[in-house]
Copies of this chain bind each other. A is one copy, B any other.
């Protein structure tokens, strides 16, 4: 059996195009463009790449991008001062602080400072709580992107056995809450799980978000399972080269799975598309502008 490859890149482009259409409508209706403020502290090259991609996608969707680059030595207090300014700036609908932050800054304090109604990353505890309880809020972009891929692939998820491997606040836990809201039977597995292959074998849906290249093997999978690979691991190759690999061993898994996301080109592009989507949603909520329910 050879799995269908889930085209995250295509799905992300389609979502971004859909957002752009809605942004145009929003601008026509309100006379202003949604704005996303991205805050980057320090010089981490990977973070700089992410921030650039986010800014580019924001502009391409017809929204405004406000980039704030701060020196690594900035104090937590000064960073929070900036966030407070962004909180009260009516041109800013979404605020994203690129993680990780330098060691002397407590990311929890920074996240708590963001107005929950501009928290398009969905990392504020009140948004984690709203997601758990089923209230309107913001869902973290990566699990939201995974869910969109799953629903596009499978349609109704009700009653399916889903296993989420990894229990981070950014992916694993919100992913579990989203799948539960879709009426899946949800198992959250992690590094302390005994006999992980056996747990995975029971799953119709596997979401792997552990950060270990190739950990999930093909023979762990139930034949026909849908596999979403969140991992983006840089693996050393021959001659000093390196390549990106997911948490799933693609070669073996794609022989057993019914459908699988590739790395790169799977979940990654969906994350940024969902960020753009969340920013538009924030703007629309503030202005009472109606968006399609399935956006």
| Residue in B126, B185, B188 whose beta carbon sits within 8 Å of that of A194 in the complex | B185
Binding-face segment, A129-137, A217-225, A252-260: A129-137
User: Which chain A residues in 159-176 approach chain B with CB under 8 Å?
Assistant: 159, 161, 167, 169, 173, 176
Q: Check A187 for interface membership: any CB of B closer than 8 A.
A: yes
User: Which chain A residues in 174-230 approach chain B with CB under 8 Å?
Assistant: 176-177, 180, 183-190, 192-194, 199, 202
Q: Check A128 for interface membership: any CB of B closer than 8 A.
A: yes
Q: Check A124 for interface membership: any CB of B closer than 8 A.
A: yes
Given contact pairs A129-B128, A130-B125, A133-B169, A187 touches B187 in the complex (Cβ within 8 A): yes
The answer for the CA separation of A187 and B192 in the assembled complex, in Å, is 14
Q: Contact between B135 and A132 (Cβ–Cβ < 8 Å)?
A: no
Given contact pairs A130-B129, A192-B185, A180 touches B167 in the complex (Cβ within 8 A): yes
Given contact pairs A125-B126, A158-B192, A185 touches B169 in the complex (Cβ within 8 A): no
How many chain A residues touch the partner (CB < 8 A)? Answer: 36
Q: Check A65 for interface membership: any CB of B closer than 8 A.
A: no
Given contact pairs A130-B125, A169-B134, A193-B159, A180 touches B185 in the complex (Cβ within 8 A): no
Most buried by B among A126, A159, A184: A126
User: Which chain A residues in 83-141 approach chain B with CB under 8 Å?
Assistant: 108, 124-135, 137
Residues of B within 8 A of A184 (CB): 192
| Residue in B133, B158, B188 whose beta carbon sits within 8 Å of that of A128 in the complex | B133
Most buried by B among A169, A177, A187, A193: A187
| Residue in B125, B126, B158, B186 whose beta carbon sits within 8 Å of that of A187 in the complex | B186
Nearest-CB residue, chain B, relative to A126: B126
The answer for the CA separation of A127 and B132 in the assembled complex, in Å, is 11
| A38–chain B nearest beta-carbon distance, Å | 22
Residues of B within 8 A of A131 (CB): 129
Residues of B within 8 A of A130 (CB): 125, 129
Offer 15 A-B interface pairs, CB within 8 angstroms, sorted by A: A108-B135, A124-B129, A125-B133, A126-B126, A126-B129, A128-B132, A129-B129, A132-B177, A158-B192, A167-B180, A180-B188, A184-B192, A185-B192, A185-B193, A187-B187
List the 10 shortest-distance A-B pairs measured between CB atoms, nearest first: A129-B129, A125-B129, A128-B129, A187-B187, A183-B192, A185-B193, A126-B126, A128-B132, A159-B192, A133-B169
Binding site for B on A (CB under 8 A): 108, 124-135, 137, 158-159, 161, 167, 169, 173, 176-177, 180, 183-190, 192-194, 199, 202
* Besides A108-B135, A202-B202, 15 new A-B residue pairs in contact (Cβ under 8 A), listed by A number: A129-B130, A129-B131, A132-B169, A132-B173, A159-B193, A159-B194, A161-B194, A167-B180, A173-B177, A176-B188, A180-B188, A180-B190, A183-B190, A186-B187, A186-B188
